[in-house]
Amino acid sequence: MSTLGTLAATLRAVLGDGQVLTDRQDLRTYECDGLANHRVVPGIVVLPRDTAECARTVRECVAAGVPFVARGSGTGLSGGALPRADGVLIVTARMRRILAVDAADERATVEPGVINLQVSKAAAEHGYYYAPDPSSQQVCSIGGNVAENSGGAHCLKYGFTTHHVLGAEIVTPEGEVVELGGPAPDPPGYDLLGAFVGAEGTLGIATRVTVRLTRLPQSVRTLLAAFPTTAAAGAATSAVIAAGVIPAAVEMMDALAVEAAEAAVACGYPAGAGAVLIVDLDGPTAEVEAQFAQVTALFETHGATELRVAATEAERTLFWRGRKSAFAAVGRISPDYIVQDGVIPRTALPEVLARIGEIAAGHGVRVANVFHAGDGNLHPLVLFDAAKPGEDERAEEASGAIIDLCIEYGGSITGEHGVGTDKAKYMPRMFTADDLDTMQLLRCAFDPAGLANPGKIFPEPRLCGEIPRKHHGSDAPTGLY
């Protein structure tokens, strides 16, 4: 029997038939995550029901020398949960219990398959919510959020997943169950939890997560502003931040993105706007009112052609609907598209958008821009038609050129989607060989055999090698690890 065949039989014997999938049709369900142009049918799919089953699965993989990949809801946009044909896909969908909501401690403990929005729903009756809110929050899982260090529209003010995770029980790549962090802050020793969050499943699998809950704000105001150009909208955003106001969210869409959203969800954004800003202000009522007056005044002096304030929750939802549907909406105006996730210093926005326009023109593709304007996280959508010869290559080139632009301006290749499969090739453009080598030191400490989600984040697979125990003058280890 093949290695995978033997492993599948072992896993069935210890976990039960229902937890192990090997039928080709079943396996195909899991062949991609949200980055649907990368597809690999996994060798085996395992659906553990608890930590012990997850740890046992990993230990069997280690014993067989088979790589494994963890998957939550499969909404990731960088191929972080892309399976291996020669490996096991461990899906956390059956670990979906909310174990505790402790309002008095401002925290909740959940299993990794719990959906992001469910945490906020469970906390709402106590007057709390879970702050990180990726656009996919109705379907994405907390385990996936931890792996990707997910952000969302409101991370400008509230931070990312890493700021809201207090502890995690993990299964290490060697199959041990270890507690990182815990119910209290600042546990002694290295902050391994901080390193684990955002490691994209390469340092193990979270099987239980304790998150911080945030008190619901006393007041929320949402406004929508139209500007003649993206440069004007960018300048208005900068003026707000220069005035010392940190909105909960500042989102921008350019004319093409607005056109797409309008076609898809009829959100009723101002016609003919060169750019639309959606701003959330939240906090104590008196602060929100003061900030609201500041923001509207600044928007007017920076040339806003229209200002709308959401008077009801329904209007607020409508303002956000266009933005939240933007990625899917471009499907209405283009058969294919690539989503980018680069970050730039926000002050460089006007220049960078002009350069993106040049890149698009130079490659004969259209680019719709949707982004978190407050923190400079761009989501350029490179539109193309794969049916037309050469367009997909040109779109891919344009996409790479945009990434280079972000690096040139001192930014990042990814703000929240992760490196995954998609952007591993760009890592050497952002980091030196020594930087990447140092990250490998951490990976090797957790995963000496290199079985946890291999091929993600780092451009080339690396062996860990032995740890040199002694370190003497002439035989200092150079390039050994």
List binders of another protein among 291-320 (CB under 8 A): 291
Among 2, 314, 461, 471, binds another protein (CB under 8 A): 471
Pairing verdict, β 249-254 and 275-283 = antiparallel
Which range of residues in 44-52, 352-360, 390-398, 461-469 is near another protein by CB under 8 A?
A: 461-469
Among 60, 133, 148, 392, binds another protein (CB under 8 A): 148
Tell me the closest approach of the beta carbon of residue 107 to another protein, in angstroms: 7
- Rounded to the nearest 5 degrees, what angle is found at the Cα of 75, between the Cα atoms of 74 and 77? 115
Q: Which of 126, 135, 102 is nearest to 370 (CA)?
A: 135
Pick out residues in 200-259 that bind another protein (CB under 8 A): 215-218, 238, 241-242, 244-246
Among 82, 430, 451, 452, binds another protein (CB under 8 A): 430
Let me know: does 341 contact 415? Beta carbons within 8 Å.
Answer: yes
Helices 255-265 & 313-324, crossing angle to 10 degrees?
120
Tell me the closest approach of the beta carbon of residue 238 to another protein, in angstroms: 6
Residue 341 has phi, psi (to 5 degrees) of: -140, 25
Place of tokens 């906390």: 123
Pick out residues in 344-363 that bind another protein (CB under 8 A): 344-347
Which range of residues in 13-21, 31-39, 381-389, 428-436 is near another protein by CB under 8 A?
A: 428-436
Q: Which of 434, 431, 440 is nearest to 407 (CA)?
A: 431
How far is 305 from 342, CA to CA, in rounded Å? 29
**Is residue 166 classed as helix, strand or coil in its secondary structure?**
strand
Quote the tokens at residue 303: 């040339």
Pick out residues in 152-211 that bind another protein (CB under 8 A): 155, 159-160, 162-163, 172, 178-180, 182-195, 197-199
Tell me the closest approach of the beta carbon of residue 175 to another protein, in angstroms: 13
Among 24, 390, 461, 470, binds another protein (CB under 8 A): 470
Q: Which CB atom, from 83 or from 418, has the smaller least distance to another protein?
A: 418
How far is 233 from 246, CA to CA, in rounded Å? 16
Which range of residues in 33-41, 43-51, 309-317, 416-424 is near another protein by CB under 8 A?
A: 416-424
Helix, strand, coil share (%) of the chain residues, nearest 5? 40, 20, 40
Let me know: does 56 contact 14? Beta carbons within 8 Å.
Answer: yes
Pick out residues in 66-85 that bind another protein (CB under 8 A): none
Which range of residues in 42-50, 114-122, 224-232, 422-430 is near another protein by CB under 8 A?
A: 422-430
Tell me the closest approach of the beta carbon of residue 270 to another protein, in angstroms: 27
Tell me the closest approach of the beta carbon of residue 380 to another protein, in angstroms: 15
Q: Which CB atom, from 266 or from 297, has the smaller least distance to another protein?
A: 297
Q: Which CB atom, from 301 or from 438, has the smaller least distance to another protein?
A: 438
Q: Which CB atom, from 19 or from 145, has the smaller least distance to another protein?
A: 145
Which range of residues in 15-23, 41-49, 381-389, 418-426 is near another protein by CB under 8 A?
A: 418-426
**Is residue 70 classed as helix, strand or coil in its secondary structure?**
strand
How far is 38 from 140, CA to CA, in rounded Å? 19
51 binds another protein (CB under 8 A): no
Among 274, 442, 449, 462, binds another protein (CB under 8 A): 442
Tell me the closest approach of the beta carbon of residue 90 to another protein, in angstroms: 20
Q: Which CB atom, from 218 or from 317, has the smaller least distance to another protein?
A: 218
Render 176-244 in DSSP notation, one character per residue. Answer: -EEEEE-SSSS-SS--HHHHHTTSTTSS-EEEEEEEE-EEPPSEEEEEEEEESSHHHHHHHHHHHHHTT
Q: Which of 39, 21, 30, 118 is nearest to 74 (CA)?
A: 30
Helix (H) or strand (E) holding 379: strand 377-384
How far is 357 from 342, CA to CA, in rounded Å? 15
Let me know: does 344 contact 352? Beta carbons within 8 Å.
Answer: yes
What residues form DSSP beta bridges with 280? 222, 249
Q: Which CB atom, from 9 or from 286, has the smaller least distance to another protein?
A: 286
Pick out residues in 78-137 that bind another protein (CB under 8 A): 102, 104-107, 127
Q: Which CB atom, from 78 or from 118, has the smaller least distance to another protein?
A: 78
Let me know: does 81 contact 52? Beta carbons within 8 Å.
Answer: no
- Rounded to the nearest 5 degrees, what angle is found at the Cα of 349, between the Cα atoms of 344 and 350? 155
Q: Which CB atom, from 25 or from 478, has the smaller least distance to another protein?
A: 478
Among 95, 205, 427, 451, binds another protein (CB under 8 A): 427
Which range of residues in 26-34, 222-230, 368-376, 387-395 is near another protein by CB under 8 A?
A: 368-376
Q: Which CB atom, from 29 or from 218, has the smaller least distance to another protein?
A: 218
Tell me the closest approach of the beta carbon of residue 151 to another protein, in angstroms: 6
**Is residue 267 classed as helix, strand or coil in its secondary structure?**
coil
Tell me the closest approach of the beta carbon of residue 121 to another protein, in angstroms: 19
Among 59, 436, 449, 462, binds another protein (CB under 8 A): 436
Among 414, 421, 422, 453, binds another protein (CB under 8 A): 414
Q: Is 347 exposed, middle or buried (0-12, 13-18, 19+ CB in 10 A)?
A: middle
